[in-house]
Structure 1
Amino acid sequence: MNYSLPTHADGVHLCLDELLPYQQHTAKWLPPAKSLWSQMLGKHQSRQLGRGMDFAEVRQYQPGDDIRTIDWRVTARTGKPHTKLFTEEREKPVVLYIDLSASMQFGSTLLFKSVQAAHLASLLSWLAIAQKDRIGAVIDTGYKLVELKPTSRTKGPLTILAQLVALQKELLSGQTPPEQRDMKQAFVALNRLCPKGSEVVLISDFIRYRTELKPLFNQLHRRNRVRLIHIYDPLEQGNTLFRGTELVTDQKDERWLNFSLNSTRNGIKKAFESHKEKLELLCQSMKMDYHALSSDSPLLQQLAG
């Protein structure tokens, strides 16, 4: 199926004109009418944490109060049963991890993976603000991190989008360092930046994830709700009409691949399925949500599918 690029997008560069319109699409995903996550995750639903509760005050126990909220210290001091009152947390911190590293600067059909990641980040940023939450981000270029603390109102999304546009331009300039770090520093930054009880959304191809990072990952998961959005390209599944020989690189090694051979395409597909399975098992072990998005079609069309 042939897809058209989103308005103002060329699939490689980023501009505010292609990212800002996602603000108009948040209404259709606002609970309780419809949840973006239930649409994306289908049968892969995990535990629902909901919003947190803030302590408000203590008052004397009244018939019908939940006995689980009894304040035993005040009860013991006064000799009369007292209960704690709570109010729903009004502003939940939402923090996005957005991977713009070298492996994300690739797309064989419609969009670079980094561009698709930016489009999703825009939608999630505006959705967070529409739900009266605060939005922040850690943007990872593979050689540096940009940390943006959770902020309310439109300032949060606009700051994130401006950084995405500027960093994508910088990365495409060819003036960036060739070396790529793994995701360790990103997880350290997320653990430091995210207030307890945050919703953390990791948007990446996870090529730079290493099993040695699981303790940092687990630390992040214990304190917050974490979701993984795996961005991939059809070529990574071995899906391509190209049948020639091409020099490919994984940022470490280079080799010539003959795409006319079934064994070549099947080998690529097998490697992708192995990588995907590891991510799914990681999510299952921690009871986290997992979803995959392709760079071969516009974001909104995939979400509507």
Structure 2
Amino acid sequence: MMEQKLPPFATGVELSLKELLYYKSHTVHWQPPSKSLWSQLNGSHTSRQKGRGMNFSEVRQYQAGDDIRSIDWRVTARTGKAHTKLFTEEREQPVILYLDLSPSMRFGSQLLFKTVQCAHLASLLSWLAVKQKDRIGALIDMGDRLIELKPTARQQGALHISHQLVQLNNEAIKQLQAQQQTNTKPAEELPFQQVLQTLHRMCPKGSDIVFISDFKRLNLDGKPLLNQLRQHNRLQFIHIFDPLEMGSTDFRGSEYVSNGEQTRWLNFGQKNTRTQLKNRYIEHLNQIEKIGKSLAIPMRSLSCSEPLLSQLGASSSSAPISGNINE
């Protein structure tokens, strides 16, 4: 198996601004006439010229050639002269990223921590939103607290998200290292229902909401809130995983393993150990897929054992993100 190389400027554990800005130049691979990354992700995000809402602008006197369906009958009745409503196309669509940096995401067995892969994808999607003249915002989940970044237009939004990801991720890594040295438990995590309630409050109607997470805290209790959220927005699940979580490793010794929540010795030389890990992973994945399918939320999976761009495919000949979604 060929060894995978880290993306430029990446350590795989901590983040740097240079590392995230690297993805700014790669949005060109998903600009027209190239294949849209949004269509690769969920098949529903359209270009800014199509599928956008129309905002009311003004009323003026009817002119020959105006669409009679746009006549403002109230103004016409009041003035005695036909008037037409004018609309402008909604140019800036909100894109909200849910970015999971909680303890279970602070883990990686091969190339990258799951939090780092999450940040790489967040950077790419942020700059893509900027290119498409959308407003980009985020909800960053640290497990015990939520950081809200309101949708902002132009480069300011993407840069703000990147700066916050670098700062918060690196603080969390130092915290994880300290906890491992002192053998202390992380703070109690917020229920995922609180995440969904926050998104419901902060997201303008008509938003594209992309969840980038391992979804460890998502269960059936969150389904009603997800259903409310998707009634007025477009939702997408991006599932981040590490091969070790499914028992996939060439290592056959014993190792002291932490997933950010629990730490224990595991003997990977025993087939039973690897099978148990695989079964737990499949059970968890099936639950996420079941929730997603019941609510018509598309889902893709990304491994943190491979560079992001090699999984997305920066050319039309490359393979799309893995996942069991019918195109």
Note whether the superposition's TM-score is higher than 0.5: yes
Aligned with 1:173: secondary structure?
A: helix
Aligned with 1:2: secondary structure?
A: coil
Is contact 1:46–1:287 with CA below 8 Å preserved after alignment?
Answer: no
Task: Write the distance in 2 (CA, Å) between the matches of 1:156 and 1:234.
Answer: 33
Task: Write the distance in 1 (CA, Å) between the matches of 2:169 and 2:228.
Answer: 30
Q: CA RMSD, aligned part only?
A: 2.6
Aligned with 2:302: secondary structure?
A: strand
Is contact 1:46–1:289 with CA below 8 Å preserved after alignment?
Answer: no
The question of 1:146 aligning with 2:155 is answered no
Aligned with 2:154: secondary structure?
A: coil
Task: Write the distance in 2 (CA, Å) between the matches of 1:195 and 1:141.
Answer: 23
State, as a whole percentage, how many aligned pairs show the same letter. 54
Structure 1 unaligned runs (5+)? none
Is contact 1:55–1:87 with CA below 8 Å preserved after alignment?
Answer: yes
Q: For residue 204 of structure 1, what is the amino acid of its counterpart? A: S
Is contact 1:94–1:133 with CA below 8 Å preserved after alignment?
Answer: yes
Aligned pairs for 1:1-305 (under 5 A) are 1-31=2-32, 33-40=34-41, 45=43, 50-58=51-59, 60=62, 65=67, 67=69, 73=74, 84-174=85-175, 177-248=186-257, 255-304=264-313, 305=319
Task: Write the distance in 1 (CA, Å) between the matches of 2:137 and 2:169.
Answer: 18
Residue 86 of structure 1, CA deviation:
3.0
Deviates more, 1:21-30 or 1:292-301: 21-30
Task: Write the distance in 2 (CA, Å) between the matches of 1:267 and 1:180.
Answer: 25
Residue 34 of structure 1, CA deviation:
2.1
Aligned with 1:146: secondary structure?
A: strand
Aligned with 1:227: secondary structure?
A: strand
Deviates more, 1:275-284 or 1:291-300: 275-284
Structure 2 unaligned runs (5+)? 180-185, 314-318, 320-327
Deviates more, 1:142-151 or 1:272-281: 272-281
1:118-152 deviation digits (Å, cap 9, x = unpaired): 00000011111111111111101101111111111
Task: Write the distance in 1 (CA, Å) between the matches of 2:165 and 2:73.
Answer: 50
Residue 66 of structure 1, CA deviation:
7.7
Q: For residue 35 of structure 1, what is the amino acid of its counterpart? A: S
Is contact 2:105–2:260 with CA below 8 Å preserved after alignment?
Answer: no
Task: Write the distance in 1 (CA, Å) between the matches of 2:81 and 2:59.
Answer: 12
